């Protein structure tokens, strides 16, 4: 007698190898399944006896802080396939994770939208000049300095339009950061009635351009554009530092050293004749770090204690006693002036450059010694 005689056996995906549910590699995964796996991660991931993200979400909801910080390393350790999909398809996966967070919040009697902020301490950083077309629509981590920021403006995410003639209402999504949406010129009421089978409801078609925007029924978010520039330490000699646009709101001020985790994207800045395929790159920021040890990582210092935070990501080097002794020995060197001038642009040499280099050294580090009435010595 067969073990399954008289029973009904169901194979998900039609029983094909590699289909979801058959034990093979999943080739096509539905949004519902991905959202369910994200919910399982948020509810089930724990460290020792603590459910990390469930506790974080509860704490943030209690303080009306509708943000959930997710570490990609935790996501990969819980579900490796899900973590890989976040690296390769972040624009598609991030809304699913936000929907999963909203479901978990709803289970806690809080029906509120949750914003996801991603973090990745183990992810390798890319130089700004290494972000190419192969990284478009992928998750990248880029360090740099914020050099400018625009004003915070309201960006419409969903536009509600209404026909002036028949009152038909239609919602138009506008998810793109730097682009708008085209308002339909023809009313869709007749096409909708034809699809629903209610023929003859309208006596005549609505005129063209009958849709008007209803501002009170549109949904908005804050939008701000920042400009990120390469750190001076990583710019090759003789080249200008490159910069990139950031899509972020009120998280960093100009002059701040940051490490950006974002989705590399492009947008059509201007309509140029003969440049149809030219797009401007930008980063849609999904995570930002302002570490005090960022400068140490760029300079490849082993001792992170030498970096002291000076507010908002600005850093200063704290010299060790050994380095101070070296500086004192240099100050006592009678040939220091010649050594400093000779170290300026050593590839440019000749008798005519000696005095020029000495003048440049004086401009860089020279000064007059002055003793103040209180005994302080300044230069």
pLDDT score, position 295 = 42
pLDDT score, position 359 = 92
| Stated pTM of the model | 0.61
Give the tens place of pLDDT for each residue, 322-337: 888 988 998 899 999 9
pLDDT under 50 in the chain at which residues? 1-28, 200-202, 292-315
In the chain, residues under CATH classification 3.30.1640.10 are 31-119
pLDDT score, position 5 = 41
Give the tens place of pLDDT for each residue, 221-241: 888 888 888 888 778 877 888
pLDDT score, position 153 = 80
Q: For domain 133-152+224-297, is the CATH number 2.40.50.140?
A: yes
CB neighbour list of residue 271: distance below 8 Å, 6 or more residues apart: none
What whole-number percentage of the chain has pLDDT above 90? 5
pLDDT score, position 365 = 83
Report the distance separating Cα 225 and Cα 65, nearest Å.
23
CB neighbour list of residue 112: distance below 8 Å, 6 or more residues apart: 61, 66, 102, 105
pLDDT score, position 2 = 44
Q: Looking at residue 207, what DSSP letter applies?
A: P
Report the distance separating Cα 72 and Cα 172, nearest Å.
32
pLDDT score, position 196 = 58
pLDDT score, position 164 = 86
In the chain, residues under CATH classification 2.40.50.140 are 133-152+224-297
Q: What would the CATH number be for the domain defined by 31-119?
A: 3.30.1640.10
């Amino acid at each position: 007698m067969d073990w399954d005689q008289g029973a009904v056996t169901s194979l998900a995906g039609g029983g094909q190898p590699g289909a979801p549910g058959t034990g093979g590699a999943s080739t096509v995964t539905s949004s519902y399944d991905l959202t369910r796996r994200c919910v399982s991660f948020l509810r089930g991931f724990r460290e020792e006896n603590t459910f990390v993200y469930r506790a974080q979400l509860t704490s943030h909801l209690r303080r009306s802080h509708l943000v959930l910080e997710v570490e990609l390393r935790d996501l990969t350790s819980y579900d490796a396939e899900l973590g890989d999909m976040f690296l390769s398809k972040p624009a598609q996966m991030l809304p699913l994770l936000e929907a999963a967070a909203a479901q978990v919040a709803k289970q806690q009697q809080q029906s509120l939208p949750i914003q996801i902020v991603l973090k990745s301490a183990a992810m390798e950083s890319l130089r700004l000049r290494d972000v190419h077309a192969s990284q478009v629509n992928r998750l990248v981590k880029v360090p740099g300095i914020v050099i400018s920021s625009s004003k915070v403006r309201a960006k419409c995410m969903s536009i509600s339009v209404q026909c002036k003639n028949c009152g038909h209402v239609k919602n138009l999504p506008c998810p793109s950061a730097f682009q708008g949406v085209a308002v339909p010129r023809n009313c869709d009421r007749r096409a909708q009635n034809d699809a629903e089978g209610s023929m003859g409801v309208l006596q005549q078609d609505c005129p063209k351009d009958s849709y008007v925007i209803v501002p009170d029924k549109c949904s908005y978010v804050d939008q701000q554009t920042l400009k990120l520039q390469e750190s001076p330490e990583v710019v090759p000699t003789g080249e200008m530092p490159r910069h990139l646009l950031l899509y972020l709101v009120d998280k960093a001020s100009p002059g701040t050293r940051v490490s950006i985790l974002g989705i590399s994207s492009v947008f059509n800045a201007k309509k140029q004749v003969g440049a149809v395929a030219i797009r401007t790159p930008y980063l849609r920021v999904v995570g930002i770090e302002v570490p005090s040890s960022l400068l140490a990582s760029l300079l490849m210092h082993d001792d992170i204690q030498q970096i002291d935070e000076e507010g908002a990501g600005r850093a200063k080097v704290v010299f060790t006693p050994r380095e101070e002794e070296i500086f004192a020995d240099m100050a006592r060197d009678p040939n220091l002036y010649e050594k400093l001038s000779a170290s300026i642009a050593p590839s440019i040499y000749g008798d005519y450059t000696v005095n020029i280099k000495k003048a440049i050294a004086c401009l860089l580090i020279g000064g007059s010694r002055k003793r103040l009435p209180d005994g302080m010595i300044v230069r």
